[in-house]
Chains A and B, each alone.
Chain A
């Protein structure tokens, strides 16, 4: 057997020869938008609009943001009612109280209650509270999630393993313009006596998007 063919992973006979399948490397195909991104980036650097180092710094700053930031906000809201009220009234300011830099973010925090479950989507593209949750998961940007969660939210949530009882209203928030959204999940019952750090560890990304409920 030709080992080059095996490395490319495109030879079915190669797969049969040993007991695991190969995924085909796809690194050589560059999509239209990827090509455009590279071309525009190179032009902007060439014209000294920004430097490669600045681009890298921005990407690293973006990658450094994780849902732990959102979880910190949620944990504080669970332990401090006055903070919770400020968060619901003016989200960005309340985040800054915790030392989180959020820039020009316009944040709407929506609170889950025994009677209301909130879920977030951007049907038009992929608007997401990145400064609090980091980069969005791929499914959040998928056409399937974006089109279906406004049309049949209960079925979509059920596919995430999230059963919303019929007597609980679902509120879908379509992030179509300048606002960004964060779901304030309900605090699980079995967390009495936990401190903020312990509570934050219980808060998941999907619970802050609204596709999950934190286990009771």
Chain B
């Protein structure tokens, strides 16, 4: 795969990149700790560097909507390291009320969050 292809944000549609994705699937990965329906809280942390966990959901509690698979950690990839072992990635559903306090009660926001940003929540602990 050429450098141009590798920087093209998943745009490239070649057999080479497909093979690359398959090779990626065999790389070491952290086992998933959560499954759909689990309550999770996003860690409150402000590490320097490239982070793909939005500020607005840090410290907030949500429900795992699905496990998306395992992906190389972008916080490492950004510095040209391999990002391995791959981190489980989840879609976490937050109510707009949980995130903002004042919002339409029905509305939700779903965010992709890597496992190392999540901590378990006991059902009894949850307030909102």
Contacts and interface: CB of A to CB of B under 8 A. Distances in A.
The main secondary structure of chain B at its interface with chain A is mixed
B120 interface: no
B121 interface: no
A174 B17 CA distance: 25
A178 B89 contact: yes
Range for the number of chain B residues in contact with chain A? 35 or more
B104 interface: yes
A179 B56 contact: no
Contact of B4 (A54, A105, A171, A180): A54
Given A104-B20, A170-B107, A172-B109, A180 B2 contact: no
27 contacts: A44-B4, A58-B5, A58-B8, A58-B12, A103-B14, A103-B21, A104-B17, A104-B21, A106-B68, A108-B68, A108-B91, A124-B52, A127-B9, A130-B9, A131-B13, A150-B56, A153-B107, A167-B106, A170-B107, A172-B107, A172-B109, A172-B110, A174-B110, A176-B113, A177-B71, A177-B112, A178-B112
Interface of A: 44, 49-50, 54-55, 58, 61-62, 101-106, 108, 123-124, 127, 130-131, 150-151, 153-154, 166-180
